[in-house]
Structure 1
Amino acid sequence: MRFQFTGLDARQVEVVDRRFGRFVVPDEDTRRDIECQCWRGVPEVVPLALLANRNDEYQPRVEYSADALVVRGYNFTASLDLAVSQAHAHLCTAGQNQLPETDVFDNYLRLAAAYVALARGGLLLHSAGVVIDGRAWLALGRSSAGKSTFARAALAAGLPILSDDINIVLPAAGGGFAAGPVPLTGDLRDQCPQDPHASYPVGGLLWLHQGAAPAVSPMADGERVARVLACALAVNADPYRVEAALGVIDDLLGQLPMRVLSFRRDEGFEALIPLIEEIV
């Protein structure tokens, strides 16, 4: 994916480069999925009380339409025009220092990436990504299900991780799906692969469950669809595109296995590896 952000001042560029440096491509790379113009202005004021989800966590409001999105957050407003093949976007913040902040730039980047992934037949999934024997395994789960714990355990066992928070899954050229490093990580940003172009075939999906002992168990078809849809960022709440998301999920689950993986937070990852490998 290629995103171009224009209108940034020198300090904003420095902040973005520091956080996403290895993912920044040269200006002469003319491929663009989204062109986003940024500026300082006077966005519509939205009270913080209206920007909280059911868990009382900050969450920007998104207004959906057939060909565009409008996002309103605390001291910023953004749009994403999806009516053309190369999407155009705008991002307006009230203060110069606010644009590079995580709550603005990261949230907007996630939203844009989710729609580019969907357009390509993939998904942006709330998950932890672990590489085992050259294959990526994505561990999905409810909030506090243990995705970060799962990723840390994999690192302790000497395994690479893609991200402990968000992963992009896209159709692979030779069939199946592939995943690779993304800048949209959680607490383990510095532990992710340094090669931004690395790509791994996806071995399967795991639904995390905290249990008394390591185990793998099957999932009903409807449950698998519901779980993946719940973890498909942004597009799962878009009434104009949820049908397309379900189509991608149907394709994804038609090609990849998905199982419940029970594990204990205090147990090493070594006990999970043979269970995961048997799923293939």
Structure 2
Amino acid sequence: MCEFTHPIPIDPQVFLVDGQYTPIIERTPKQLTITGLDFQATIKWGTPAQAILGISHEEHQPRLGAIENFLRVASAYRVLSKGGLLLHSAGLVVDEQAYLFVGRSGAGKTTLTRKAHQAGAGILSDDINIVLPAEGEGFQAYPVPFAGDFGQTPDLLSPGGYPLATLCFLEQGGTATLEPLSKAAAAARLVSAGPFVNTDPYQAPDLLEVATNLVRWVPVRKLISRREDDFDLIHALLREITDDR
């Protein structure tokens, strides 16, 4: 890691995608270059891969944020190489099983997480979670160090993974209900929900393969609910799926 003695000369507006801060990623067959508001990093593919991270030396730019933003991108690529996905999602643990609720900013992830925590659920993250193949069959969900606005509750969770029982895509609507999705539609949504790697044409085949494998093993639904819906109601709907398996 090194420091830049001057700001990165890029208009901050170019980092906004759909209103969200998004680092710029440039990919070639041999390396990946990641440019953020206050950092630039290069990952060179090989065995092992090598990374160089440079951070702007400015008092109002906290180093921790730059490192976190770099790790988000690096983690997405690393997890995909292991047959898993890094997903924009809220991750909850109930009865030693994980439930992921996928959605972009404003979809209700943090609101749902807060209600679930108040109801006694364990929290992986309200922002980003990792899904990896389990030994044998199925997938497991794991927390990440960058836990989002809500933060982690390590007092309720062990550091390992949890069997992924159900994956839901969040939508605002009427009274809480779960709607089925075809495997093709679910896989397509997962591809869209995998940040950073989903804009890399070199990763497209692997990304689609992993998403297709995930929906083969894990039930995927569309959760339509209101922000005021009680978590116990949502949990009851989820139990109907897991009890039928």
TM-score w.r.t. length of structure 2: 0.91
The answer as to whether partners of 1:216 and 1:261 remain within 8 angstroms in 2 is yes
The answer as to whether partners of 1:182 and 1:196 remain within 8 angstroms in 2 is no
Instruction: Say yes or no: does 1:272 pair with 2:234.
Output: yes
Instruction: Say yes or no: does 1:69 pair with 2:37.
Output: no
Distance in 2, Cα, partners of 1:86 & 1:172: 24
Instruction: Say yes or no: does 1:45 pair with 2:35.
Output: no
Deviates more, 1:190-199 or 1:246-255: 190-199
The answer as to whether partners of 1:181 and 1:193 remain within 8 angstroms in 2 is no
Partner SS for 1:158: coil
Cα 1:249/1:94, change in 2 over 3 Å: same
Cα 1:181/1:219, change in 2 over 3 Å: same
Distance in 2, Cα, partners of 1:196 & 1:183: 13
Letter in 2 for 1:45: P
Query: What corresponds to 2:102 in structure 1?
Result: 140
Deviation at 1:73, TM superposition (A): 2.0
Distance in 2, Cα, partners of 1:220 & 1:271: 24
Query: What corresponds to 1:78 in structure 2?
Result: 41
CA-to-aligned-CA distance 1:1-54 (integer Å, 9 cap, x gap): xxxxxxxxxxxxxxxxxxxxxxxxxxxxxxxxxxxxx01135752221322213
The answer as to whether partners of 2:133 and 2:139 remain within 8 angstroms in 1 is yes
Cα 1:152/1:123, change in 2 over 3 Å: same
Deviation at 1:166, TM superposition (A): 0.2
TM-score w.r.t. length of structure 1: 0.80
Count how many residue pairs are aligned between Structure 1 and Structure 2: 240
Deviation at 1:209, TM superposition (A): 1.7
Deviation at 1:76, TM superposition (A): 2.1
Letter in 2 for 1:53: V
Deviates more, 1:190-199 or 1:239-248: 190-199
Equivalent residue in structure 1 for 2:63, among 93, 97, 100? 100
Deviation at 1:220, TM superposition (A): 2.5
Deviation at 1:124, TM superposition (A): 0.4
RMSD value, Cα: 1.8
Give the 4+ runs in structure 1 shifted more than 6 A: none
Distance in 2, Cα, partners of 1:45 & 1:194: 44
Cα 1:96/1:144, change in 2 over 3 Å: closer
Deviates more, 1:194-203 or 1:213-222: 194-203
Percent of pairs with identical residues: 38
Letter in 1 for 2:9: V
Equivalent residue in structure 1 for 2:22, among 20, 41, 59? 59
Cα 1:195/1:220, change in 2 over 3 Å: closer
